[in-house]
Amino acid sequence: MSDQSGDNAHWVNDGRGLRLVFIDGERVNYVLYADTKAGIAVVCDDPPTCLDGEHIDFHPVWGEITMVPVEGA
C-alpha cells in the first residue's frame, strides 16, 4: 500500500471528519482507506458481505479518487 502520511492518505477514524468518496466520479460507500495521490482505495462491497462468516470482505479499487468533506461533521 502507499505511504500513509500526508494529506493524500485517508482512512476510517483518521481524525479529519466525515467525507464523501468518489472514484471516477461515482460515489462509493464503505471505504476503509483511500490514497488520492496513488489513486487506490480499499472498499467493502455495498452491502457488506462476509463469505467466511467471520470477516467482512474488502478489495482494492483503482481510479481517480476525490474526497469531499461533509459540512458540520
Mean pLDDT of 13-24: 92
Give the type of residue at 58: F
Per the CB < 8 A criterion, the answer to whether 41 and 58 are in contact is: no
Q: Where are the beta strands (DSSP E) in 1-73?
A: 9-11, 19-23, 26-28, 31-35, 40-44, 58-62, 65-69
Domain range annotation of the chain: 9-69
Kindly report, residue by residue over 24-72, the tens digit of the pLDDT: 999 999 999 999 999 999 999 878 888 888 888 999 999 999 999 998 6
Question: What is the predicted pLDDT for the residue at 32?
Answer: 92
Q: Residue 22: is its pLDDT beyond 80?
A: yes
Kindly report, residue by residue over 5-16, the tens digit of the pLDDT: 678 999 988 988
